[in-house]
């Protein structure tokens, strides 16, 4: 049982700005009626819509506060409600949802109403992740899926605010989307499209040939150059980053990719440099040799070296510069 909400001005406006944020649902409905004004009842489809809504929202004991939800018909797009109003309306809706059987039209109607009330949670979760503008529409759709999951799983009897429960669920759904669908590096759009074409053609040819196709076979099948196939296959490597904990080709989990990746270790380079300069450092005067060792071998600050040797930091700086000048001269001479 779906329903289209016509865009209108937010509920919180005009003469109603002075209403408290913690207004109860009945107060909100009264406020809505005040904004809309009175008028004759709408005949035909509008009356049928109100009857359907009442059937979904009324509890088993008959009309309750939701009987006044008719006041919202001519007031607002639910997605534009102020967050405080959305929270106040959501609480009794969750109580009603908890009493309905999942899969019924009434359940779907109440759940869809909750989805329309809470898009601000999706925008908030996406905003915290600093989403690029071009990805915003997709992310909002994915975040709405997370919102629906949160609504389905939420238990109002646990005493937890829906906002507190929903945000981690929505954020997790968005992060999974980026993990599974976003390129690890920036690849030109043409190559992204070529990758999809190659994947489709590759699957079709593999079924036809009974084996993975070669680059030449893919190129012939698609009517493109072999070089374009190579570039498309290389672009596929940028689609998803590989974990450094992933096993290498032999599949041994103890043999991780990180064990085969070269990286720079500044500490190791420092030790190697000192070892290579060992004979030249040994030829320095004792105090300069000590300062070089403490500064570059033990990573001590000049002030700490001064405290160790009983001299000022300025004196350490002069001795250090003198020692480095001598080492440079020796290296140049050699």
Are 25 and 170 found together in one domain? yes
pLDDT at 52 > cutoff 70: no
pLDDT at 234 > cutoff 80: no
Are 153 and 194 found together in one domain? no
H/E segment holding residue 57: helix 45-57
Q: Could you report the per-residue pLDDT of 299-315, keeping only the tens digit for each?
A: 788 999 999 899 999 99
Domain-embedded: residue 296: yes
Are 198 and 160 found together in one domain? no
Helix 136-153 to helix 162-181 angle (10° resolution) is: 130
Report residue 99's pLDDT band, with 50, 70 and 90 as the boundaries: confident
Domain-embedded: residue 166: yes
* E strand map for 167-232: none
Domain-embedded: residue 147: yes
Are 275 and 308 found together in one domain? yes
Domain-embedded: residue 35: yes
Residue finishing a domain among 148, 180, 212:
180
Which residues have C-beta within 8 Å of that of residue 258, sequence separation ≥ 6? 244, 245
Residue finishing a domain among 155, 180, 205:
180
Domain-embedded: residue 249: no
The phi-psi region of residue 89 (left if phi > 0; otherwise alpha if psi is between -120 and 50; otherwise beta) is alpha
pLDDT at 7 > cutoff 70: no
pLDDT at 40 > cutoff 90: no
Which residues have C-beta within 8 Å of that of residue 297, sequence separation ≥ 6? 270, 271, 274
Domain-embedded: residue 255: no
Q: Could you report the per-residue pLDDT of 60-69, keeping only the tens digit for each?
A: 544 444 443 4
The three-state secondary structure class of 62 is strand
| Backbone torsions φ then ψ of 243, nearest 5 degrees | -65, 140
Are 54 and 109 found together in one domain? yes
Give the Cα-Cα-Cα angle 2, 120, 72 (nearest 5 degrees).
45
pLDDT at 30 > cutoff 50: no
Are 92 and 194 found together in one domain? no
pTM of the model: 0.41
| CA–CA dist 38, 41 (Å, integer) | 9
Q: Could you report the per-residue pLDDT of 122-178, keeping only the tens digit for each?
A: 988 888 776 666 577 888 898 999 999 999 989 888 888 898 889 899 988 888 877
Give the 3-state secondary structure of 220-235. HHHCCCHHHHHHHHHH
| CA–CA dist 172, 166 (Å, integer) | 10
Structural domain count, the chain: 3
Residue span of the structural domain in which 221 resides: 189-244
């Amino acid at each position: 049982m779906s329903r289209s909400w016509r865009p209108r001005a937010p509920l919180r406006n005009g003469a109603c700005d002075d209403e408290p944020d913690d207004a109860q649902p009945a107060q909100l409905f009264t406020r809505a009626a005040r904004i809309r004004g009175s008028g004759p009842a709408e005949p035909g489809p509008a009356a049928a819509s109100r009857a359907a809504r009442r059937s979904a929202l009324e509890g088993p004991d008959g009309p309750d506060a939701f009987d006044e939800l008719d006041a919202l018909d001519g007031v607002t797009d639910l997605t534009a409600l102020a967050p405080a109003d959305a929270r106040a309306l959501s609480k009794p809706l969750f109580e009603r949802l908890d009493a309905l059987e999942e899969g019924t039209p009434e359940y779907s109607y109440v759940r869809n109403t909750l989805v329309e009330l809470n898009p601000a949670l999706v925008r908030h979760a996406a905003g915290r992740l600093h989403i690029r503008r071009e990805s915003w529409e997709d992310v909002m759709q994915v975040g709405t899926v997370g919102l629906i999951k949160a609504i389905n799983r939420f238990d109002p009897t646990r005493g937890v605010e829906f906002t507190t429960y929903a945000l981690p669920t929505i954020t997790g759904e968005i992060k999974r989307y980026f993990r599974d669908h976003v390129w690890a590096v920036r690849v030109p759009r043409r190559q992204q499209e070529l990758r999809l074409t190659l994947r489709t053609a590759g699957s079709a040819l593999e079924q036809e040939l009974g084996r993975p196709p070669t680059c030449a076979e893919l190129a012939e099948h698609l009517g493109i150059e072999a070089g374009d196939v190579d570039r498309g296959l290389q672009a596929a490597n940028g689609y998803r980053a590989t974990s450094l904990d992933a096993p290498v080709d032999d599949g041994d989990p103890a043999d991780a990719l990180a064990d085969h990746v070269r990286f720079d270790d500044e500490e190791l380079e420092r030790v190697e440099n000192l070892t290579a300069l060992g004979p030249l450092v040994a030829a320095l005067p004792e105090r300069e040799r000590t300062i070089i060792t403490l500064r570059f071998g033990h990573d001590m600050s000049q002030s700490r070296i001064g405290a160790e040797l009983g001299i000022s930091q300025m004196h350490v700086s002069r001795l250090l510069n003198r020692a480095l000048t001598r080492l440079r001269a020796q290296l140049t001479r050699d």
